[in-house]
Amino acid sequence: MASPRPTRRDDTRRVGAGRLRGVAQRGAFLAVLIALGALLLRNIDQNLAERGLSLSFDFLARPAGFEIAIKAINFTPRETYAAAALVGIANTLLVSALAIVTATIVGFAAGAMLLSSNPILARSTQGFTELIRNTPQLLQILFVYTVILRALPSTRDSLSIAGWVFLNVRGLFIPAILADPAAMPRFGIDTSEAAWICLAALLVWAFLPLPRRWKMPVAGGLLIALAGLIGLMLQSGALRIETPTLRGFNFRGGVQVAPELVSLWIGLAVYASAFIADMVRGAVLAVPKGQGEAAAALGLSPFQALRLVKIPLALRILVPPLVSQYLNILKSSTLGLAIAYPEVMAVVAGTTLNQTGHAIETMLIVMLFFVGTNLAVSFLINLYNRHVIMRGTA
């Protein structure tokens, strides 16, 4: 006798039971993790109590009493250890952001060179990427810092670009944009607020799954509005450009980019760009051959086919490993400790630890920063991949 066919109600019950089982398993796993974390904290607290110590973060409210030579945000020795930690975090995010942007640009360019039909260009690029990938990253950072930057001319013999940008042994000096809030023109809202609104709108535009026919007009309108606001603020005196000027033995005015920041920036970017170049080459080669043939049939040049057809399709393959490279850049910023760049590891797990003796607390702060930042970067890139790239090339 044949068994009765399952009804829709039976299928619904089976799916509901499967979901309930999955929720229960995830809940049990989370409970085990929480229990293990509580056991670890209890063990740490007991061991500290035996030595007359306690797990406390009260030291963060005490004055730091030390100076930070390179700082992305304002800081004085009279501020707290918490403020010093924020400076280290800001320095880490600054050099990581610069390295990520530079590595992406250089990596994509080098990947295109690896795919070039010119054998000299392709072989020379391959040799460069192999050299970078097979030497330690710390060695490259030290090479840039001790060999390249230290060989630059003195302050009075600085290399200059149009009298606005200067490069010497003390670093890179670039013009600064200074704001005067009192001179801001008013349109019902503060003009600086309007500029931030335009920037936020651009970020939202980048992640929203809008149709392609809407994206370019929206982006163009936002960029025109932002450029108009900047021009209006420059005309009214709310913004002014301050160029570096040589006075005595050093430059005054503008922004000084310290050699330590430049060395770490170049070292992180060059090392990551070698891996990104190889990932770009592999992702483009993974695109079906018929797509390239179709592009050629339409009369596109090899470069146009690469830019308009192959790379957009290759992004679906490229983005996931690209996230790993971005996270590696962020974590490798701790190598700045070797050249005295005050990133979060040097400030919190270095100077703060030596002065306060709170080893566990400082290490926890550093670990939580890297875990939280890495998860945030991974989430944003995956969100962009899921809502823009995957839908746009579907």
pTM of the model: 0.76
Among 188, 211, 239, residue at a domain's last position:
239
**C-beta of residue 331 within 8 angstroms of C-beta of residue 323:** no
Q: Report, as an integer, the average pLDDT of 354-361.
A: 86
Asked if residue 273 belongs to a domain, the reply is: yes
How close are the terminal C-alpha atoms of the chain, in Å?
A: 47
* Whether residue 100 is found in the same domain as residue 184: no
Asked if residue 94 belongs to a domain, the reply is: yes
d(CA 26, CA 15): 17
* Whether residue 293 is found in the same domain as residue 333: yes
Tell me, what's the pLDDT at 244? 84
* Whether residue 267 is found in the same domain as residue 232: no
Geometric angle at alpha carbon 118, from 140 and 325, rounded to 5°:
35
Is 389 or 375 the better-scoring residue by pLDDT?
Answer: 375
* Whether residue 282 is found in the same domain as residue 377: yes
Asked if residue 61 belongs to a domain, the reply is: no
Tell me, what's the pLDDT at 188? 45
CA 1, distance to chain mean position in Å, is: 66
User: What are the φ and ψ backbone dihedral angles of 4, each rounded to 5 degrees?
Assistant: -65, 145
* Whether residue 139 is found in the same domain as residue 285: yes
Asked if residue 372 belongs to a domain, the reply is: yes
* Whether residue 93 is found in the same domain as residue 121: yes
Is 79 or 148 the better-scoring residue by pLDDT?
Answer: 79
Query: Which pLDDT tens digit goes with each residue over 296-337?
Result: 787 877 777 777 777 778 778 888 888 889 999 999 999 998
* Residues of the chain above pLDDT 90, percent: 25
Asked if residue 119 belongs to a domain, the reply is: yes
Q: How many domains does the chain have?
A: 2
Q: Report, as an integer, the average pLDDT of 131-143.
A: 92
> Which of 107, 106, 113, 105 shows the shortest CA–CA distance to 303?
113
* Whether residue 275 is found in the same domain as residue 335: yes
Q: Is the pLDDT of residue 387 over 80?
A: no
DSSP track, 271-340: HHHHHHHHHHHHHHHTS-HHHHHHHHHTT--HHHHIIIIIHHHHHHHHHHHHHHHHHHHHHHGGGGGGGT
Tell me, what's the pLDDT at 290? 80
Is 386 or 343 the better-scoring residue by pLDDT?
Answer: 343
* Whether residue 145 is found in the same domain as residue 215: no
Asked if residue 41 belongs to a domain, the reply is: no
Asked if residue 7 belongs to a domain, the reply is: no
Q: Report, as an integer, the average pLDDT of 377-385.
A: 79
Tell me, what's the pLDDT at 1? 47
* Whether residue 103 is found in the same domain as residue 146: yes
Domain holding 378: CATH number?
A: 1.10.3720.10
Asked if residue 190 belongs to a domain, the reply is: yes
Task: Categorize the per-residue pLDDT at 3 as very low, low, confident or very high, splitting at 50, 70 and 90.
Answer: low
Across all residues in the chain, what is the average pLDDT?
80
Tell me, what's the pLDDT at 89? 93
Which amino acid does the sequence have at 296? A
| Secondary structure letter of residue 179 according to DSSP | E
* Whether residue 337 is found in the same domain as residue 388: yes
Is 195 or 343 the better-scoring residue by pLDDT?
Answer: 343
d(CA 181, CA 274): 44
d(CA 55, CA 83): 20
Among 239, 274, 289, residue at a domain's last position:
239
Q: Which residue segment(s) compose the domain that 209 sits in?
A: 179-239
d(CA 280, CA 10): 48
* Whether residue 298 is found in the same domain as residue 326: yes
d(CA 87, CA 36): 33
Tell me, what's the pLDDT at 173? 85
- Least confident span in 91-105, 136-150, 192-206: 192-206
Q: Is the pLDDT of residue 205 over 70?
A: no
* Whether residue 229 is found in the same domain as residue 277: no
The sign of the torsion formed by the CA atoms of 215, 221, 224, 225 equals negative
CA dihedral 357, 361, 363, 365 (to 10 degrees): -130
Geometric angle at alpha carbon 131, from 125 and 136, rounded to 5°:
140
Query: Which pLDDT tens digit goes with each residue over 42-78?
Result: 887 787 777 776 777 888 899 998 898 888 888 888 9
Tell me, what's the pLDDT at 187? 47
Query: Which pLDDT tens digit goes with each residue over 151-170?
Result: 888 888 888 887 788 888 88
Tell me, what's the pLDDT at 97? 92
Query: Which pLDDT tens digit goes with each residue over 81-114?
Result: 999 999 999 999 999 999 999 999 999 899 888 8
**C-beta of residue 185 within 8 angstroms of C-beta of residue 191:** yes
Q: Is the pLDDT of residue 24 over 70?
A: yes
